[in-house]
Chain A
Amino acid sequence: MITLYAITDHPTPPVPALGDMRVVASGDLAAVCGPVLKGEVTAEALWQHERLVEALMDDRDVLPVRYGTCLPDDAAAARTLQDNHAEFAASLETVRGAVELAVRVFAAGNATAAAQPPSEPTTGTAYLRARARVAADESGAGAIVHEPLARTARAATIARVNRPGELMRAAYLVDRDATGAFSERVREIQEQNPQLRITCTGPWPPYSFAAR
């Protein structure tokens, strides 16, 4: 069994001497593969995987492959490239020259508690009011944070929020040379909106834009 790290163009620059990566090519596409790493899925294992993909991203465009993707052998990897050629080639064009930045918005300080529906609402009305407040906060965060950032990005996706106090969770596909301008925009929005707490991480390989 082999594991897949990323799909990229072929020919591709030599893979970095990190881990144990090698290239399986098929036509104008290549899969960067390695041995399957055994053991528990720990934070360190995930960061190690991420470091390898980021090292690849340093000097080429990549479609990161979902963690844990395994194939029987190199021939299967080549076949996967052939079978999905149109999709992979189009996705590579989408992300060419760009990286992903992750943005989350939380309600700051006391507003966080206020934004949460009570865990055991005393009445149905109280519950509905609390839900309505959360919905208003979410759409407000979208208008305040997402719209200006989306204008700075090549593409954007908004994911369903999934943590307490979280108002927005989004990913932006940003030109490599525009990440500074993007983070400056985040900083401005944060300064103008102390009621929100905005986090921005990256640059990441374009995980949220790799699949069509």
Chain B
Amino acid sequence: MTTIAEQDVALIDLLDRLLGGGVVIAGDITLAAADVDLVYVGLRALIASVATAKEKGVLPEMGSAL
């Protein structure tokens, strides 16, 4: 089993927020639930750039020393 890579954390936190959080205005979301699932599946495999992940990280090196 693989554990989540450091650089994936920021992307997954981003997905959870943009696609699962925020103000919902009823009836006007262009991404249907099924599309959201597809985005997750598509991007889960994708490694965010290390630069982006570090930029987002409050604790950029957290966990890497363990």
- Contact in complex: B23, A211 (CB < 8 Å): yes
Beta-carbon contact of A106 and B59 below 8 Å: no
Q: Is the CB of A200 within 8 A of B59?
A: yes
- Taking a contact as CB atoms under 8 Å apart, the answer to whether A199 and B22 are in contact is no
Question: What 1/0 flags go to B1-34 for Cβ under 8 Å of A?
Answer: 1011010011111111111111111001111000
Question: What CA separation (Å) do A203 and B33 show in the bound complex?
Answer: 27
What chain A residues lie within 8 Å of B13 (beta carbons)? Answer: 102, 104, 201-202, 204
A211 lies within 8 A of B62 (CB): no
Proximity string of chain A (143-180) to chain B, C-beta cutoff 8 Å, 1 when within and 0 when not: 00000000000000001000111100101000000010
Contact B25 A109 (CB under 8 A): no
In the complex, whether A98 has a CB less than 8 A from a CB of chain B is: no
Closest partner residue, chain A, to B59 (CB atom) = A200
A66 and B14 within 8 A (CB): no
How long is the Cα–Cα vector from A42 to B9 in the complex, in angstroms? 16
Q: Is the CB of A197 within 8 A of B39?
A: no
Question: Do the beta carbons of B57 and A200 come within 8 Å of each other?
Answer: yes
Which of A18-26, A67-75, A125-133 lies at the interface with chain B?
A: A67-75
B59 contacts A187, C-beta separation under 8 Å: yes
Does A201 contact B10, Cβ atoms closer than 8 Å? Answer: yes
Give A101-144 as 1s and 0s: 1 = Cβ < 8 Å from B's Cβ atoms: 11010101100110010000000000000000000000000000
Which residues of B lie under 8 Å from residue A179 when comparing CB positions? 58
Given A49-B18, A186-B62, A202-B56: A112 and B1 interface contact (C-beta under 8 Å)? yes
B-side contacts of A46, CB under 8 Å: 14-15, 18, 43
| CB-based contact A187/B62 at 8 Å | yes
CB distance from B52 to the nearest CB of A (A): 6
A109:B1 contact, CB within 8 angstroms? no
Given the contacts A159-B16, A200-B57, A201-B57, A194 and B66 also touching, CB distance less than 8 Å: yes
A176 to chain B, nearest CB (A): 13
Q: How near does chain A come to B58, taking the closest CB pair, in angstroms?
A: 4
Closest to A109 in B: B66
Partner of B23, one of A47, A65, A169, A187: A65
9 residue pairs from A and B, CB less than 8 Å apart:
A43-B11, A43-B14, A63-B22, A165-B4, A166-B4, A186-B58, A201-B56, A202-B58, A211-B23
Known: A46-B14, A112-B1; 7 extra A-B contacts, CB below 8 A, are A66-B21, A70-B29, A106-B4, A166-B4, A199-B6, A208-B17, A208-B21
Residue positions of B touching A, CB distance < 8 A? 1, 3-4, 6, 9-25, 28-31, 35, 39, 42-43, 46, 48, 52, 56-59, 62-63, 66
